[in-house]
Amino acid sequence: MSEEILKNYPELATEGLPTVKQRLDISNKAVTQMAIEASLSCIKAWGRPLSSITHLVYVSSSEARFPGGDLHLARGLGLRPDVRRVMLSFTGCSGGVAGLRVAKDIAENNPGSRVLLATSETTIVGFRPPSARRPYDLVGVALFGDGAGAVILGVDPIQGIETPLFEIYSAVQEYLPDTEKTIDGKLTEEGINFQLGRELPQVIEDHVEGFCKKLMKERGGDGSEFEYNEMFWAVHPGGPAILTRVESRLNLWPDKLSASRSALRDYGNASSNTIVYVLEYILEESRKKREKGDKDYEWGLILAFGPGITFEGVVARNLLS
């Protein structure tokens, strides 16, 4: 929210007015622009032309329109008309890791493909003005943020042209029965109304270890041969309490979630995008460790938690380690 937006849409500052159209007018345009900028930055770093993108996976819980944001993003980037598109809507905080899972499956089942995964989110659709009957949610406003992220996935990298950063080895999704009200969102005339249950950190703490063991079995064996502190951890920072609960339940060393805490500190919980920021910080940490000659960790887990409650997880190799 900015002074410019409030000047152009003063009705957003009055509680109870039907403003979903105005919010979507702002959000639909903003998320596409952010996704374009993030994607172009990613493609530039990748080093190959736009025409090499064969598939697009677009993730956003911040827009609603027909045609969807995947088409608007493809057009905005100038991708080929025959690029094959998938859109993941309203997956919330787990959307970025869900996007990795979907893009991995596409890449592995289409030899020679290059999949652009883009995520883009804004909090404008959930903004609530102060009111006499409800205190202003300073915690929520401070915790959540806007932004976009992008990665490119494929198999058989071209030597000398493509430099792979991570190997997405396997991916798992699981939802917890009877928890659908713990993260509850409704699209109303006043925008999206989110309700996060106070029990959310406890629910994640109670189930995260079992989910991690299931993930590690994907590497072979029964998973018991893997030591949590001998891996890197890319955990979506839903909030400080969630990170603390995960750290405590798994007995992780304090530095294990440093990338997640850095992303939360610098960008807030930007929903599906945030896991991209966390992975960027992990790469930064790897480069610093290599320069110092310190030990780095090759294998790790990428985790996120979203509506459902849905757990998304990836077993990955850090190829810079």
Residues classed as catalytic: 93
Other CB atoms within 10 Å distance of the CB of residue 172: 17
CA dihedral 217, 220, 225, 228 (to 10 degrees): -50
202 residue type, one letter: Q
125 residue type, one letter: V
Q: What are phi and psi of 85, to 5 degrees?
A: -110, 145
Contacts of 140 (CB under 8 A, 6+ apart): none
Question: How many Cα atoms occupy the beta-carbon half-sphere of 200 within 13 Å?
Answer: 23
Whole-number Å distance between alpha carbons of 106 and 116: 11
205, containing H or E segment: helix 200-217
Instruction: Supply angle C-alpha 198, 199, 205, rounded to 5.
Output: 130
Contact 145, 270 (CB under 8 A): yes
